[in-house]
């Protein structure tokens, strides 16, 4: 059985998207769905290629029992648009850049719209303090719980038929 593939995308793949990947993997494990999912993250730019997530993202995750230290930043590749069933952009700027890279892709969604159903951007906390990372964590957690619930009740999407989650 093909695993349903989700890719979280932000600007540099060191703050929001690796945190989303870690939270989502954690929540999916708790819901006993992890073996049916392929979870990854990427960035639009390659500035941090191969680097661990930002130390503040690591600290926020670790404080909640989530280890993201094994993740390494990577730049999104064209094949990601074909391989991922769902690509979740952290903000509208990321979403526009993804659409510019792959105009025909129908699997790109805004995290705040798809997971949170608020249409909000997940703001980049990079230039701020720890409180910004706390806020990002809270929004990502809420969205990831909703996303796991949506995928967990939609068995067709997890068996390869993705029409209902796009």
Catalytic positions are: 10, 16, 124
Return the CATH superfamily for domain 4-158.
Response regulator (3.40.50.2300)
Q: What is the mean pLDDT of residues 122-128?
A: 97
Burial of 16 (0-12, 13-18, 19+ CB in 10 A): buried
Among the residues of the chain, which ranges form H helices? 16-30, 55-62, 78-83, 92-101, 111-114, 130-153, 155-158
The pLDDT value given to residue 152: 80
Q: What is the mean pLDDT of residues 140-149?
A: 97
DSSP state of 53: P
Q: What is the mean pLDDT of the chain?
A: 93
Name every residue whose Cβ is closer than 8 Å to that of residue 110 and which is 6 or more positions away in sequence: 88, 89, 91, 92, 95, 119, 121
Give the integer Cα–Cα distance in Å for 31 and 125: 28
Residue 68 has pLDDT above 60, yes or no: yes
State the residue for tokens 């995308």: 9
pTM of the prediction? 0.92
Domains in the chain: boundaries: 4-158
Name the band, by pLDDT with cuts 50, 70 and 90, for residue 154: low
State the residue for tokens 């209902």: 164
Name the band, by pLDDT with cuts 50, 70 and 90, for residue 160: very low
DSSP state of 51: P
Residue 156 has pLDDT above 80, yes or no: no
Residue 83 has pLDDT above 70, yes or no: yes
- Please answer whether residues 94 and 9 qualify as being in contact, where contact means their C-beta atoms are separated by less than 8 angstroms: yes
Residue 12 has pLDDT above 70, yes or no: yes
């Amino acid at each position: 059985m093909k695993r349903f593939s989700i890719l979280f995308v932000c600007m540099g793949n060191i703050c929001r998207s690796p945190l989303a990947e870690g939270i989502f993997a954690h929540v999916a494990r708790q819901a006993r769905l992890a073996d049916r999912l392929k979870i990854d993250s990427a960035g639009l730019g390659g500035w941090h290629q191969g680097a661990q997530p930002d130390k503040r993202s690591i600290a926020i995750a670790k404080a909640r029992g989530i280890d993201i230290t094994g993740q390494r930043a990577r730049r999104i590749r064209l094949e990601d648009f074909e391989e991922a069933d769902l690509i979740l952009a952290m903000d509208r700027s990321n979403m526009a850049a993804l659409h510019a890279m792959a105009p025909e892709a129908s699997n790109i969604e805004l995290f705040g719209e798809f997971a949170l159903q608020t249409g909000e951007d997940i703001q980049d906390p990079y230039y701020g303090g720890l409180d910004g990372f706390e806020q990002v964590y809270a929004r990502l957690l809420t969205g990831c719980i909703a996303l796991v619930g949506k995928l967990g009740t939609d068995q067709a999407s997890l068996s390869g038929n993705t029409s209902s989650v796009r």
